[in-house]
A and B are shown apart, each in its own frame.
Chain A
Amino acid sequence: MTSDWWLRLREAGPATTSDIAEFASEIRRTTLVTINRAGLGHIGGDYSVTDILATLYGRVLRVDPENPHWADRDRFILSKGHAAVSLYSTLALSGFFPLEWLETFTGPMSALNGHPNRNKVPGVETNTGPLGHGFPVALGCALAAELQGSERRAYVVLGDGELQEGSNWEAFMYGGHRRLTNLTAIVDRNRLQQGDRTENTNSLDPLDAKVDAFGWEARVIDGHDLDALHTALASPSDRPVAVIAETTKGKGVSFIEDRAEWHHKVPNDEQVALALEELSR
């Protein structure tokens, strides 16, 4: 079955904010059902990044689900690859592959591994999962676009805990040095990592001042405010842009929100029913 979301969001005129809100709710419902069915997933990080993905795919990225290898597509990389189900749900709903694939998630020989694989999943640009990998690859995508004289852009979503990996700061440094105006790094700032709060573990604040010092334009926004996301992701700059999206882990379902244990806890059938009710309000 092919979803009709792409038609609604991208081909029938520009999407409105309420369209994106509905799209995000559908991504959350799809994610929930997929994780429950598989008995595996990282729902907390899936939900903190959902509004970012809905905005990117619903109204920002220049990509074509029917031609995922289009040479001049924008490049999107989910560096926090453990949020794979939200990405898979977004891609399936956008028409990159059939929705039925989601039923196979983590099953034997499924294309949909626990972390995304570019050789198996249309729309995935590089294999992520180990943290600190996506940003340098996105940087390479942006450098290539510049060299090739293309208008295409590169976007990468980073977990905030992920920023403890030094490779990200190598990428911030070189991206700033090259003043890559075609590169946007989005930090999913949900303030939780697997074991604890980021600030209790290895603090990141003041994150905006840090990235600013590396030559980037920091845009600190509410990562669940769809208009703010749209503006932050779509408006140009004379520097590379770091969108620091202040988010809530598990956003959208009250009993999942902002709890470390929901990093990769799996909702049972009863919790799914409760969550679906909340997500359909």
Chain B
Amino acid sequence: MSTVLTDCRVPFAHELIELARADDRIVAVCNDSVSSSNLGEFRSLFPERMFNVGIAEQNMVGVAAGLANAGLIPFVCAAAPFLTGRATEQIKADVAYSRANVKLVGMSPGVSYGELGPTHHSIEDIAWMRALDGLPIVSPADDEQTREAVRWAAGYEGGVFMRIGRFKVPSVSVGQSPAFEFGRSNAVRDGDDVTIIASGVTVSRALAAAELLSERSVSVRVLNISTIAPLDVAAVITAARETGRIVVAEESVSRGGLGGAVAELLAESNPVPMRLLGVNTFAPTGSVEFLLDHFGLSPEGIAAAARELVGRA
């Protein structure tokens, strides 16, 4: 892991601008979220290709479907809780069911908004979006993955839901090329005793947990799941077979989230003991860092869950 920390909204916006320079079909749609989506520069460069509909998420998603109908490639950029919560039915009917080529970018997901509280936390978005047929869910973990995922999304024909965090993260993709491949997980650490499955901000924490566990001679595999749907079935089943124990650590509810996805898969194919860590209740007041620790998503918390599974407390 590098020590440089990245707010992934920065590489997101940078890459979107690069794409927009090369392809005039790229447009942005937002809900008064130009600054929170880091799209100020995009707006300066391409004012006519920025559609700010105001604080109106249903209209925002419907408008994007209409833009896509004309062959444009809209990136809808809005805070994840309001995009996925307020416009769920538009995402279902206008994007997923209509198979509209709309990129839904949920900014600042999970507990990114820390002290602003559960109204502003987006812990249900993965479960809601995962229930929709044919809507890929992408959750890049760092700078490199964000850039490559945005580029992939622009070229993919169809709707996509993407989580872009504001909580600063270190690179976990150093030396990996490609950093992001749709539908494929990255084994960012290999091991035999237990696998920690993580996504987004929890990947670097899972790696830190693995480091703590190695001091106790527990050998840990860490899978970075940057495509939550469709899940990398082969990698998850192989991890279950080879390590026999699975911990899932995510910045989301486990019910219907990544934990739910892994559990559904393994229940049918290769059941193993599991621990599902997530933000599974409305959060108390506190900073992002405090909340991640509170929900057991600190390196120590993740390591404790893994030790319990391995039986070496």
Known: A119-B99, A127-B98, A143-B51. A133 touches B90 (CB 8 A): yes
Chain A proximity of B50: nearest CB distance (Å): 11
CB-defined contacts of B94 to chain A, threshold 8 Å: 126-127, 133, 136-137
Contact (A140, B97) CB under 8 Å given A166-B58, A170-B58: no
CB nearest neighbor in B for A144:
B70
* A151 to B43 CA separation, bound complex (whole angstroms): 25
How near does chain A come to B77, taking the closest CB pair, in angstroms? Answer: 15
User: Are the C-beta atoms of A140 and B64 separated by less than 8 Å?
Assistant: yes
Out of B63, B64, B65, name the residue touching A174 (CB < 8 Å).
B63
> Are B56 and A129 in contact, CB atoms less than 8 angstroms apart?
no
CB pair A137 B97 closer than 8 Å: no
**Residue A223 interfacial (CB < 8 Å):** no
With beta carbons under 8 angstroms apart, the residue of A130, A135, A147 that contacts B49 is: A147
**A74-90 interface bits toward B, Cβ cutoff 8 Å, 1 = contact, 0 = none:** 01000000000000000
A27: Cβ under 8 A from any B Cβ:
no
Kindly list chain A residues whose C-beta atoms are within 8 Å of the C-beta of B98: 118-119, 126-127
* Closest B residue, CB atoms, query A174: B53
Q: Does A17 sit within 8 A of B, measured CB to CB?
A: no
Residue of A nearest to B48 (CB): A147
- Residues of chain B within 8 A of A139, CB atoms compared: 59, 62-63, 66
Known: A119-B98, A173-B56, A174-B56. A133 touches B70 (CB 8 A): no
A141 at the interface (CB under 8 A from B): yes
Interface pair B56/A170, CB less than 8 Å apart:
yes
Query: Which A residues touch B89, using CB under 8 A?
Result: 130, 133
Q: Give the chain B neighbours of A126 by CB distance below 8 A.
A: 65-66, 69, 94, 98, 100
- Assess whether A142 is interfacial by the CB under 8 Å rule: yes
Please indicate the chain B residues that have their CB under 8 angstroms from the CB of A140 in the complex: 62-70, 74
Question: Chain B residues near A129 (CB, 8 Å)?
Answer: 93
List, in ascending order, chain B residues with CB within 8 A of A141's CB: 66-67, 69-70
Q: Is A123 an interface residue (CB 8 A)?
A: no
Which of B51, B93, B100 has the most chain A CB within a 10 Å cutoff? B93
A232 touches B (CB below 8 Å): no
Give residues 129-187 of A contacting B (CB, 8 Å).
Answer: 129-130, 132-133, 135-145, 147-148, 154, 166-167, 170-171, 173-174, 177
* Contact of A144 (CB < 8 Å), options: B66, B90, B100: B66
Q: Is residue B27 contacting chain A, with contact meaning CB distance below 8 A? A: yes
Residue contact A136 to B58, C-beta cutoff 8 Å: yes
Summed over the interface, the residue pairs from A and B with CB atoms below 8 Å come to a total of 105
Is A217 positioned at the interface, with any CB of B under 8 Å from its CB?
no
- Tell me if B61 is interfacial: C-beta within 8 Å of chain A: yes
Please name all residues of chain B whose beta carbon is closer than 8 Å to the beta carbon of A71 when the two chains form the complex: 70-71
- B70 with A137: CB separation less than 8 A: no
A257 smallest CB distance to B (angstroms): 31
- For residue B54, CB closer than 8 A to chain A, the reply is yes
Interface size class of A (residues with CB under 8 A): 20 to 34
Asked if A258 is at the interface (CB within 8 A of a chain B CB), the reply is no
A46 adjacent to chain B (CB < 8 Å): no
A188 is an interface residue with CB less than 8 A from chain B:
no
What residues of chain A lie closer than 8 Å to B70, measured between beta carbons? 71, 140-141, 144-145, 148
- Say if the beta carbon of A125 comes within 8 Å of chain B: yes
Q: Is B283 interfacial (CB-CB < 8 Å)? A: no
B-contact bits for A89-130, CB 8 A (1 contact / 0 none): 000000000000000000000000000011100000111111
Residues in chain A near residue B97, CB distance under 8 A: 117, 127
Report the separation of the CA atoms of residues A170 and B53 in the bound assembly, to the nearest whole angstrom.
Answer: 8
Bound together, the chains give a CA A127 to CA B90 distance in angstroms of 10
Is the Cβ of A136 less than 8 Å from the Cβ of B67? Answer: no
Contacts of A173 in B (CB 8 A): 54, 56
Assess the A143–B66 pair: CB atoms within 8 A.
yes
List the B residue with the shortest CB-CB distance to A132.
Answer: B58
| Of A118, A137, A148, the contact of B63 (CB 8 Å cutoff) | A137
CB-contacts of A39-68 with B (<8 A): none
B49 nearest in chain A by CB position? A147
Q: How far is the CB of B57 from chain A (nearest CB, A)?
A: 9
Nearest chain A CB to B75's CB is how many angstroms away?
14
| Contact assessment for A167 and B59 in the assembled complex, using a CB-CB cutoff below 8 Å | yes
Residues of B within 8 A of A136 (CB): 58-63, 65-66, 90, 94
Of the candidates B48, B65, B72, B100, the one having the most CB atoms from chain A within 10 angstroms of its own CB is B65
CA of A128 to CA of B65, assembled, Å: 12
List 6 extra interface pairs beyond A133-B62, A133-B94, A167-B58, CB under 8 A.
A71-B70, A136-B60, A136-B63, A140-B64, A140-B66, A144-B69
Can you list the 8 inter-chain pairs with the closest CB atoms, starting with the nearest?
A140-B66, A136-B62, A144-B70, A170-B59, A170-B56, A140-B63, A167-B58, A141-B66
